[in-house]
Chains A and B, each alone.
Chain A
Amino acid sequence: EAGVVQSPRYKIIEKKQPVAFWCNPISGHNTLYWYLQNLGQGPELLIRYENEEAVDDSQLPKDRFSAERLKGVDSTLKIQPAELGDSAVYLCASSQGQLAQETQYFGPGTRLLVL
């Protein structure tokens, strides 16, 4: 069974440029998460989807970040415009059910460097 797929794996952009990350969850997993992980820190939740509905986006900086999961499968996270402080690893995870204690499976992440 394929795991969570993310692309690109690495991205280097200049500040003020837009950037987008893509995630395809494990087949059959209805819940999808986007996390931000800064160096030396644990992952922090940005947004959680149950099917195509964003059920928790309270930590998503909505002035520059947006996300979508139009068909309830794969998802895109966008930053526009990017700032230097956005340099981090963006992790996508998925779980089969909706409960918080469901096992989450993480993708390899996208390492973003903003210059």
Chain B
Amino acid sequence: QKEVEQNSGPLSVPEGAIASLNCTYSDRVSQSFFWYRQYSGKSPELIMSIYSNGDKEDGRFTAQLNKASQYVSLLIRDSQPSDSATYLCAGIYQGGSEKLVFGKGTKLTVNP
């Protein structure tokens, strides 16, 4: 099992809809989780971090963490075409030296 797994998509939603991005992680990943947004040809940019069970909201973005199910999600409300990007889920790998490990990303397209 990969440390962090994401459905690579692509995920397509109409403008104004809710986009739901999901991520699962292995026993070797824990503590803190991050969602990065990466536009095509650009570098990853942190948009949300979450450290404890439950929901964390920031504007149109809500991150959800369920440690019992080893599941992290990102909800984007009122999706805009400018949200079209690849979303990378990342967690902290606990084996040996701690490091950030990424999923392969989910490509989101928001259609006008």
Say whether A associates with B: yes
Q: Is A25 an interface residue (CB 8 A)?
A: no
Residues of A within 8 A of B17 (CB): none
Give how many A-B residue pairs fall within 8 Å (CB-CB). 53
Q: How far is the CA of A55 from the CA of B99 in the complex (A)?
A: 11
Q: A103-B46, A106-B44, A107-B43 are in contact. Are A43 and B102 (CB under 8 A)?
A: yes
Q: How many residues of B contact A (CB 8 A)?
A: 24
Q: Is A48 an interface residue (CB 8 A)?
A: yes
Task: Out of A48, A101, A106, name the residue touching B32 (CB < 8 Å).
Answer: A101
Q: Is B45 an interface residue (CB 8 A)?
A: yes
Q: A91-B43, A108-B42 are in contact. Are A42 and B97 (CB under 8 A)?
A: no
Interface residues of B, Cβ cutoff 8 Å to A: 4, 8, 31-32, 42-46, 49, 51, 88, 90, 92, 96-105
Q: Is the interface of B mostly helix, strand, loop or mixed?
A: strand
Q: Is A45 an interface residue (CB 8 A)?
A: yes
- Are B32 and A45 in contact (CB-based, < 8 A)? no
- Are A42 and B31 in contact (CB-based, < 8 A)? no
A interface residue count range (under 10 / 10 to 19 / 20 to 34 / 35 or more): 20 to 34
Kindly supply a per-residue 1/0 record for chain A positions 83-111, scoring 1 wherever the CB is within 8 Å of any chain B CB and 0 otherwise. Answer: 00000000100000001110111111100
Minimum CB distance partner of A103 in chain B = B46
Residues of B within 8 A of A108 (CB): 42-43
Minimum CB distance partner of B46 in chain A = A103
Q: A55-B97, A58-B96, A101-B32 are in contact. Are A42 and B43 (CB under 8 A)?
A: no
Residues of B within 8 A of A55 (CB): 97
- Are A40 and B32 in contact (CB-based, < 8 A)? no
Q: How far is the CA of A91 from the CA of B92 in the complex (A)?
A: 18
- Are B97 and A58 in contact (CB-based, < 8 A)? yes
Residues of A within 8 A of B98 (CB): 99-100
Q: A107-B43, A108-B43 are in contact. Are A42 and B102 (CB under 8 A)?
A: yes
- Are B104 and A40 in contact (CB-based, < 8 A)? yes
Among A52-66, those with CB < 8 Å from B are: 55-56, 58
- Are A100 and B100 in contact (CB-based, < 8 A)? yes
- Are B99 and A48 in contact (CB-based, < 8 A)? yes
Q: Is A44 an interface residue (CB 8 A)?
A: yes
